[in-house]
A = this chain, B = another copy of it.
Amino acid sequence: MEKLILDGKRVSQTVREQLTTQVQGLKTRGITPCLATILVGNDPSSETYVRMKGNACKKVGIESRRIHLPKETTTEELLDTIKGLNEDGAVHGILLQHPVPSHIDERKAFETIAIEKDVDGVTSAGYGQTALGFGKYPSCTPAAIMKILDFYELPIEGKHAVVVGRSPILGKPVSALLLNRNATVTTCHSRTENLADIVKLADIVVAAVGKPEFIKGDWIKKGAVVLDAGYNKGNIGDIDYEACYENASAITPVPGGVGPVTISMLLKHTVEAAALTKA
């Protein structure tokens, strides 16, 4: 059986080339797409993520405005910052890097982001629109998974997709997007009984569980498409890659699979949001 490695860097490169052209076009109309990133505190991996996103913006011509708040920032202060960005006409997208320090009401902060600037897909209103089929900016990792499937022209309609994980920005929205593309979708999680048996039914497996090498090779039906949205320490995904590779017909590596495309989706949404504004 031919084995397809779903190369996220390749997908990402194609998307970013298109975005670079689009951004040039917007700039001739006097619009410079701008993503505001908010980082609260000094978590080293969060700092790295924010820097990566800022650099990615720069490469396609998107302006990035970095807001770094001290770790003792209160919920109210954070909300005020978000409200200010909501009202700032020069800002097209807002990304609140999470997790935020535990004393902050993260959900309240997310919900404060104006839906037209919610390019990271974290608001419940954005989730609702996405799930009902008319959302503009789904969460970026789910969007990346759909982009990879489409880039490699892997069929979705009628397929049985099993999503392992149900977080608000990953398992739930990717389930919704797959359902809207006419997959039959099963959403599994920590309370699922007989998980292995359910994953074995899948034509498409999405691992979004946050546990290293959680999905085993013998859970994968021969010929299934396997997408690993996990990022664990040491660049290890949520699937046991070597073992899953054997049965899969197509599979994302970690790193270099879903990850790079996720950032590209953030850029894409920011450019789309900018395109909807007037110069």
CB neighbours (8 Å) of A198 from chain B are 160, 184
CB–CB A191/B128 < 8 A: no
CB–CB B193/A188 < 8 A: no
Using known A-B contacts A107-B134, A184-B198, determine if residue A158 contacts B123 with beta carbons closer than 8 Å. Answer: no
Q: Which residues of A contact B (CB under 8 A)?
A: 107, 123-129, 131-132, 134-135, 157-160, 166, 168, 172, 175-176, 179, 182, 184-189, 191-193, 198, 201
Q: Give Cα distance in the complex from A79 to B123, angstroms.
A: 25
The listed residue (B131, B135, B193) touching A184 by CB distance below 8 A is B193
Using known A-B contacts A124-B125, A132-B124, determine if residue A182 contacts B172 with beta carbons closer than 8 Å. Answer: no
CB neighbours (8 Å) of A134 from chain B are 107, 124
The listed residue (B168, B182, B193) touching A191 by CB distance below 8 A is B182
Q: Within the complex, what minimum Cβ distance (angstroms) separates A226 from chain B? A: 19
CB–CB B191/A157 < 8 A: yes
Using known A-B contacts A128-B126, A128-B128, determine if residue A191 contacts B158 with beta carbons closer than 8 Å. Answer: yes
The listed residue (B132, B158, B172) touching A193 by CB distance below 8 A is B158
